[in-house]
Structure formats: C-alpha cells, structure tokens
Amino acid sequence: MRSIRRDEVRQLLKEGAQLVEVLPHEEYEEEHIAGAINIRLKELNRKTAMQLDRSRPVIVYCDDYQ
C-alpha cells in the first residue's frame, strides 16, 4: 500500500477515489473527512469491504502519525 500526501488525496478524490476512515466509530462520528465512510481497521474484511467499489481507488486514513 503506497503512502500519499494531501495533494494526491485531493487529486484522487476528484477522479472518484473512495475514502475510508479506519478509526473507531465514535471518532468518525466526531469528525471525518467529507465523504469518507467508516470501516474500523479490525473489522476490515471481505464482507465489510463489499460496500466499496473495487474498480475505484481506495484511500484509507486514520488520525496522524499512527
């Protein structure tokens, strides 16, 4: 998985990328990047990933310095 910076995130979003916040639901509810969905890291599996479109890029993120 390649690490990317903010500018590349913005560019990929313009191209239809999907954002996934992997933090606990409470933290997601508190604040998340606009348009992101929430799948906790420990719950990320084939079933939960069904809500994502495999044909589009996926960007995962958490808080910072994780």
Partner 1 sequence: MGFEQVYEYEDGKRDWGSFGLPREGRLAEQPSGGDVARADVPTCLLSDDLSEVRRRVRESGWETCIVVNEDRVVLGRLGRKAIGSDDGESVEEAMTEGPSTVRPSIGLEALLKRMQSNNLSSWLVTTPMGSLSGSCSAARPRSA
C-beta of residue 19 within 8 angstroms of C-beta of residue 61: yes
Task: Kindly state whether residue 24 participates in binding partner 1, applying the rule CB under 8 A.
Answer: no
Q: List the one residue from 9, 24, 25, 51 that touches partner 1 (CB under 8 A).
A: 9
What torsion, rounded to 10 degrees, do the Cα atoms 47, 49, 54, 60 define? -160
Within residues 45-64, the interface with partner 1 by CB under 8 A covers 45-46, 49, 52, 54, 56-64
Burial code (b: 16+ CB inside 10 Å, e: under 16) for 48-61 equals eeeeeeeeeeebeb
Compute how many residues bind partner 1; rule: CB under 8 A. 38
Residues within the interface to partner 1 (CB under 8 A):
1-6, 8-10, 12, 17, 19, 21, 28-36, 45-46, 49, 52, 54, 56-66
